[in-house]
Amino acid sequence: MSSVLTVRGGVPLSGRISVRGAKNLVPKAMVAALLGDSPSVLRNVPEIKDVEVVTSLLQLHGVSVLKDPINGDLTLDPQNATTASSTEIDAHAGDSRIPILLCGPLIHAIGEAFIPDLGGCKIGDRPIDFHLNVLRQFGAVVEKRPGGIHISAPKGLQGAKISLPYPSVGATEQVLLSATKAEGITELIGAAVEPEIIDLIAVLQKMGAIINVQSERTIRIEGVKNLSGYLHRALPDRNETASWASAALVTRGDIFVEGAAQRDLMTFINTFRKVGGGMDIEEDGIRFYHPGGKLNPLVLETDVHPGFMTDWQQPLVVALSQAEGVSIVHETVYENRFGFTKALVRMGANIQLHRECLGSTPCRFGQRNFRHSAVISGPAPLRGADIDVPDLRGGFSHLIAALAATGTSRVTGIDVINRGYERFTEKLAALGADVDVSAGVARR
């Protein structure tokens, strides 16, 4: 069962909302608490599904997770960490991909980990081969069991020289969370260096870890025997910020995103400016607005940080559907992140998908039959439609298309959007959107 959001489009979103801690950091900082031998305090925690999932998983493993009723800060105490039943782990893991990151910390804390078959957004195959290879290089034994995998390390985890075939965010985090308490030195070559990873390194350093981020995507970690708890304020969610920025453009609105931080959004800000968006960067946040007139088309490729982040792509494509001329977007991080355009085309957008790489960055998907390049011609008037949310960012994109469209849209599957956008229906209402949520219907 899932709620239905009815959207009566055509109202520019205007007003002030705030973003809190990043979805792509907070659950991982929670996992890191397992490595400590005293409690940790995490601040700026958003109320999103992934936080609930990790809370349940940690609690199942004996970690006490207390939420401050006033500000939502979490206190995580791992001192009674223990084994949990695989059936219960499976029941609580939901659709999240975070469970794979519990491997290293659980092995350090209790000697083993069970990881259920993973969910996550349907934006490609999303394999875990890098994770498993990393764990094996640390000396872990990985066994397939019904419903998931069991991981143990009879001799403990040993530091290793690891080279990633692609700068994967999750695999880099896997290395960090495993290596900090592994015996000896770990050198990671080909690491991802997203701001959320640097923030995770800050968390681990507060706990007592010794981690050097060197040039050329190399991270060197000297294992230590013990880590303590941390006190940390999570960095703000740059992906949610970019989504609201695109929403301001698409709806010809004006949104002040309180808590948005320029430093982690530089590539997005450059692109937003080239499209013709207006902005004021202030101390406590950023105002994004449509300045009137035409938006400009552009040629864009997604990439790992410091490139244009893949999570910014989907909302921006909706804005490009309203630009004057032809835009080209080459998705190089996920092979299947344009599925959401089908609903946009039904709503009136003019978007063609291509298998070829329409860009200059060599990409892993080129000759492999994946429709990973999009040609978008605009401006195309959007009209309301019935939409079922396909994934987190795709779902948000549908939502902003519906908000800009003429007529009424019925959006089902909105619980997926709650995975990464805190209280988004309340924020929409605060921005003046004409929306209401009605009780559940069975999902198609």
Residues that constitute the known binding site: 23-24, 97, 311, 333
CB of 196 to ligand EPU, least distance (A): 7
Residue showing the smallest CB distance to ligand EPU in the complex: 170
Of 258, 265, 286, nearest to 17 by C-alpha is 258
**Window 23-62: contact mask with ligand EPU (x via CB under 6 A):** xx--------------------------------------
- State the Cα–Cα distance between residues 6 and 21, nearest whole angstrom: 28
Which residue in the set 341, 420, 424, 433 belongs to the binding site for ligand EPU (CB under 6 A)? 420
CB of 49 to ligand EPU, least distance (A): 11
- Kindly indicate which of the ranges 69-77, 120-128, 215-223, 398-406 contains the residues binding ligand EPU, using the contact rule CB under 6 A: 120-128
CB of 370 to ligand EPU, least distance (A): 10
Find all residues with CB under 8 Å of 433, minimum gap 6, and list them.
Answer: 7, 11, 13, 403
CB of 220 to ligand EPU, least distance (A): 20
Of 309, 382, 308, nearest to 341 by C-alpha is 382
- State the Cα–Cα distance between residues 401 and 404, nearest whole angstrom: 5
Which residue in the set 310, 373, 412, 418 belongs to the binding site for ligand EPU (CB under 6 A)? 310
- Using CB under 6 A, count the residues that bind ligand EPU: 27
- State the Cα–Cα distance between residues 131 and 348, nearest whole angstrom: 41
**Window 81-100: contact mask with ligand EPU (x via CB under 6 A):** ----------------x---
CB of 127 to ligand EPU, least distance (A): 4
Tokens of 10: 């055509």
Cβ burial of 444 (10 Å; 0-12, 13-18, 19+) is exposed
- State the Cα–Cα distance between residues 12 and 303, nearest whole angstrom: 30
Q: How far is CA 227 from CA 29, 159, 167, 224, in A?
A: 14, 16, 26, 7
Given a contact cutoff of 8 angstroms between Cβ atoms, the answer to whether 359 and 330 are in contact is: yes
- Kindly indicate which of the ranges 12-20, 161-169, 352-360, 410-418 contains the residues binding ligand EPU, using the contact rule CB under 6 A: 161-169
CB of 307 to ligand EPU, least distance (A): 10
Question: Is position 128 an interface residue for ligand EPU (rule: CB under 6 A)?
Answer: yes
Q: Considering only residues 334-353, where is the footprint of ligand EPU by CB under 6 A?
A: 334
113 forms bridges with which residues in the sheet? 151
Question: Is position 130 an interface residue for ligand EPU (rule: CB under 6 A)?
Answer: yes
Given 103, 121, 357, 363, the catalytic residue? 121
- State the Cα–Cα distance between residues 157 and 142, nearest whole angstrom: 13
Decide whether 191 or 435 has the Cβ nearer to ligand EPU: 191
Question: Is position 239 an interface residue for ligand EPU (rule: CB under 6 A)?
Answer: yes
Summarize the annotated binding site for UDP-N-acetyl-alpha-D-glucosamine as residue ranges.
Answer: 97, 311, 333
Q: Considering only residues 166-225, where is the footprint of ligand EPU by CB under 6 A?
A: 166, 168-171, 192, 194
Which residue in the set 8, 43, 122, 126 belongs to the binding site for ligand EPU (CB under 6 A)? 126
Question: Catalytic annotation on 121?
Answer: yes
Tokens of 275: 């499209």
Which residue in the set 121, 175, 182, 300 belongs to the binding site for ligand EPU (CB under 6 A)? 121
CB of 176 to ligand EPU, least distance (A): 12
Cβ burial of 154 (10 Å; 0-12, 13-18, 19+) is exposed
Decide whether 3 or 133 has the Cβ nearer to ligand EPU: 133
Count the alpha carbons within 13 Å of 341 in the hemisphere toward its beta carbon. 25
Return left, alpha or beta for 441; rule: phi > 0 is left, psi -120 to 50 is alpha, else beta. beta
Cβ burial of 127 (10 Å; 0-12, 13-18, 19+) is exposed
The alpha-carbon radius of gyration of the chain (Å, integer) is 22
Q: What is the 3-state secondary structure (H, E, C) of 204-261?
A: HHHHCCEEEEECCCEEEEECCCCECCCEEECCECHHHHHHHHHHHHHCCCEEEEECCC
Angle made by CA atoms 439, 442, 444, in degrees to the nearest 5: 130
- Kindly indicate which of the ranges 73-81, 121-129, 148-156, 243-251 contains the residues binding ligand EPU, using the contact rule CB under 6 A: 121-129
Summarize the annotated binding site for phosphoenolpyruvate as residue ranges.
Answer: 23-24
**Window 364-403: contact mask with ligand EPU (x via CB under 6 A):** ----------------------------xx----------
Which residue in the set 10, 62, 124, 366 belongs to the binding site for ligand EPU (CB under 6 A)? 124
Binding site for ligand EPU (CB under 6 A): 23-24, 97, 121, 124-131, 166, 168-171, 192, 194, 239, 310-311, 333-334, 392-393, 420
**Residues with catalytic annotation?**
121
